[in-house]
Structure 1
Amino acid sequence: MKNFGLLLLGIILGALAMYYYCFNNKVKMTSEPITSVTPKGLITPKEAKVLDAAYSFRHKIISDSLFSNTTTGDNRSSWWSLEDIQNYIKHAENQAGELGYIMDGLRVYLGAYPDAKGETGLTTMFFIPTGYNNTSEGSMMPLRGGSGDISGGDGLNMGESGKPPGANYPQ
């Protein structure tokens, strides 16, 4: 009976210790501030305005010569929802693996829709996944050939244009 009492006491103390441990970890996890890593190339809104203003001259030349007959003017920006971007990144990573690549980034291209039905095709922007061949299997030293476009990888287009399409930063 004495051993049974010690066993029961041990179980109760163990349960209390486990409860205390779990409760404290939950409190710590929710009370700690969320930290983020500052990405390379981060610019301030002031710097973004300088870049946008510097592009305005080029945009005016393009718009005046190619888009003078359009009702909306040419696009200066594209917008994608955060959900679409996150879903695209997951899709591109999976597809890269299937194609034998390791995805390490995204490249943004400027493009233009073809002229159709008498309308001039407007500028668009699209993402293409970048990465390198997964050739490091069984190797001690992985060889990276650089971050080229992933051949055969799907791109992401169809972002919404600015409102209006020719609007400057910020919108």
Structure 2
Amino acid sequence: MPALGNLTRRLGHHRWFGAAARLLVPADRVVGRLTRGRVVALGLIPSLVITTTGRRSGVPRSNPLLYVPDGDAYVVIGSNWGQQHQPGWAMNLLARPEAEVDVRGRRVAVRAELATGAERDRLWTLLITEWPAYRTYVKRAGGREIRVFRLVPAGRGGPGGAGDR
């Protein structure tokens, strides 16, 4: 499947790809839930399912996301396929940084850290190496800075955590 993954990465720059992918997200959520995170994004790119708590509703919300590993943490980006507005899951993390991720069939409680400065730059490089279309998404979003989160397993890393990164 590496060739298909490479094709997907090239197609990711096209506006129609983002529109089509947004339409498939509900189906991807179902597949992710049924496989407990083992199959997301058709297994073409490293993906997880994040479950956040709705900032207004208090209801759990699950979304499939591309991620890159960073030590024992997961790095995700609130690109929203290059739309002008932030995705709901990112706003939920800002309001309540505790979440859960399903990664390759493993459920992990995490705490989201919003990356800034040099740390954001480092993580951005990891993200665009995996999904170069993020550069295109920034242009589509009018040049606004897209939020980058580091999802640290609960009880480790970050401020007040019980370990080092």
TM-score (norm 2): 0.21
Q: In proportion to residue count, which structure has more strand?
A: 2
TM-score (norm 1): 0.21
Q: Compare CA radii of gyration and give the structure with the larger one.
A: 1
